[in-house]
């Protein structure tokens, strides 16, 4: 009896490491076309969307680092990462911002009838609101299913049940909105169990698209100051993250830049 064919591995764009994390040299269009190719090939991929917080945290959290390094693509979500890549001789026209990537992908999915699954959300009400907002904004978007997860690690039995529910939905793209590091570790763990060709972790994009948390104005985003806007919105939750990770990113980038100059 012939063995079943292994999933095809879709060619990936080149990547350059920033603080030890390989970042894909690509654009929104490049990622969307890569997703289409993965679906067409019935491949098995997952995508991490990395801000500076993720890059720095990878140096401190071995489990997160393993999950991110195991991804098919890790795209530069933050403008400081785009500037770092430019400083290393790899200019990009723009970042690949998680919420914008999700919006553009959902628009394409609505046009082409690609079923998607939403896994995450702060509670059931928030997830239902996300569904309502996405289907209003992208008429015809086939949302194959949704699941609001437990806020703890899944047991093996629970992971198998989650995978079975997602597989039964027929989804081709699974959007995971658990936040760093939970979504990266969830994708790494569930990837072997899921039939959907593409999993994408987008963190706060669920809250943004549900209309629960405002996004920074475009001008602040272009200046790389989205973190300051988010800090002003949620100071008690985010101040430790930015106070810890932002200075470490600047220091780590300076060390890498100086080392490469030498």
Q: How big is the CA angle at 176 (ends 154 and 189), to the nearest 5 degrees?
A: 40
- 97 near 75, Cβ under 8 Å? no
Residue with tokens 């064919």: 5
User: What 3-state class would DSSP assign to 216?
Assistant: coil
Question: Which residues are within 8 A (CB) of 139 and not within 5 positions of it... i.e. 6 or more apart?
Answer: 110
Tell me what pLDDT residue 6 has. 54
DSSP at 113: T
Q: From CA 144, how far away is CA 132, in angstroms rounded? A: 14
Helix 156-169 × helix 182-190 angle, to 10°: 80
Token digits of residue 202: 């987008």
DSSP at 172: S
User: What 3-state class would DSSP assign to 151?
Assistant: coil
Tell me what pLDDT residue 68 has. 98
Mean pLDDT by 10 residues, the chain (262 residues): 58 95 98 98 97 95 98 96 96 96 98 97 93 97 94 89 98 96 97 98 94 86 83 80 88 93 80
Exposure string over 83-106, b if 16+ CB within 10 A, otherwise e: bbbeebeeebeebbbbbbbbbbbb
- 213 near 221, Cβ under 8 Å? no
Question: Which residues are within 8 A (CB) of 169 and not within 5 positions of it... i.e. 6 or more apart?
Answer: 115, 117, 144, 145
Nearest CA to 175 out of 198, 193, 200, 150 is that of: 200
Tell me what pLDDT residue 3 has. 53
* Residue 83 Cα to chain centre, angstroms: 20
Query: What's the pLDDT tens digit per position in 51-64?
Result: 999 999 999 999 99
Instruction: Look at the pTM and tell me if it is higher than 0.75.
Output: yes
Tell me what pLDDT residue 217 has. 85
DSSP secondary structure string for all residues of 85-102: HHHTT---SS---HHHHH
Q: From CA 151, how far away is CA 193, in angstroms rounded? A: 20
Token digits of residue 1: 């009896």
């Amino acid at each position: 009896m012939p063995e079943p064919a292994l999933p095809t591995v879709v060619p990936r764009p080149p990547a350059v490491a920033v603080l030890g994390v390989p970042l894909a040299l690509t654009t929104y269009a490049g990622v969307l076309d890569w997703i289409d190719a993965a679906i067409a090939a019935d491949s098995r991929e997952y995508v991490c969307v990395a801000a500076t917080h993720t890059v720095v945290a990878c140096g401190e959290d071995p489990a997160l680092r393993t999950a991110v390094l195991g991804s098919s693509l890790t795209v530069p979500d933050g403008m400081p990462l785009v500037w770092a890549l430019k400083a290393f001789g790899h200019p990009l026209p723009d970042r690949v911002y998680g919420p914008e990537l999700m919006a553009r992908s959902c628009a394409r999915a609505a046009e082409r009838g690609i079923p998607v699954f939403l896994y995450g959300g702060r509670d059931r009400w928030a997830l239902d609101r996300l569904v309502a907002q996405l289907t209003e904004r992208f008429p015809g978007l086939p949302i194959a299913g949704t699941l609001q997860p437990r806020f703890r690690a899944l047991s093996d039995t629970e992971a198998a049940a989650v995978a079975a529910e997602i597989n039964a939905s027929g989804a081709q793209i699974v959007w995971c909105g658990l936040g760093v590091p939970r979504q990266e570790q969830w994708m790494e763990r569930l990837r072997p169990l899921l039939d959907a060709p593409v999993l994408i972790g987008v963190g706060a994009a669920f809250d943004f698209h549900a209309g629960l948390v405002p996004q920074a104005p475009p001008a602040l985003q272009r200046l790389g100051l989205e973190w300051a806007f988010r800090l002003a919105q949620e100071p008690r939750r985010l101040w430790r993250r930015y106070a810890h990770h932002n200075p470490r990113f600047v220091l780590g980038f300076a060390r890498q830049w100086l080392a490469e100059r030498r």
